[in-house]
């Protein structure tokens, strides 16, 4: 028997972002109002979506923006981040959302590009 895990997801509905989980059984749970402990449960994701007309499910790893474009944007923001608190805040939000340090990854990407061009003065 192989272990199975619960998968988290985000449900985008009418401008709201709801966090949910799909269990190994296929059952799903969405936290409608975490502050008051209100949640919606359903036997399947399909059944859940019947109650959230027009909703979109975002799974971990879904790319809403091409990675290269996102890293270029992070690199530009990282250059400004030394003097701009807002840019640092945006980078922090991206890091939390994506689960990795976007400025660090952008710097690594820039280093790789420089090495590919033959630059040795890094």
Q: How far apart are CA 105 and CA 94, in angstroms?
A: 12
Tell me the whole-structure pTM to 2 decimals: 0.49
Model confidence pLDDT, tens digit, residues 3-33? 467 888 889 898 888 999 998 888 999 998 8
pLDDT at residue 1 above 50? no
For residue 111, give both structure tokens.
């280093």
Model confidence pLDDT, tens digit, residues 82-103? 556 766 677 677 676 666 676 6
φ, ψ at 27 (rounded to 5°) = -65, 150
pLDDT at residue 58 above 70? yes
Q: How far apart are CA 1 and CA 114, in angstroms?
A: 47
Instruction: Supply the pLDDT for residue 36.
Output: 83
Q: How far apart are CA 26 and CA 31, in angstroms?
A: 17
Closest CA to 51 of 43, 63, 59: 43
Q: 7-13 and 16-22: which strand pairing?
A: antiparallel
């Amino acid at each position: 028997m192989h272990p199975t895990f619960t998968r988290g997801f985000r449900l985008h509905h009418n401008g709201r972002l709801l966090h949910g989980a799909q269990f190994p059984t296929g059952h799903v749970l969405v936290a409608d109002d975490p502050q008051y402990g209100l949640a919606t449960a359903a036997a399947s994701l399909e059944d859940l979506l019947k109650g959230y007309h027009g909703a979109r499910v975002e799974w971990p790893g879904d790319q809403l923006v091409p990675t290269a474009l996102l890293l270029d944007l992070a690199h530009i923001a990282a250059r400004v981040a030394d003097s701009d608190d807002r840019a640092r805040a945006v980078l922090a939000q991206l890091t939390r959302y994506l689960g990795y340090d976007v400025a660090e990854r952008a710097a690594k990407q820039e280093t790789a590009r420089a090495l590919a061009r033959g630059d040795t003065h890094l």
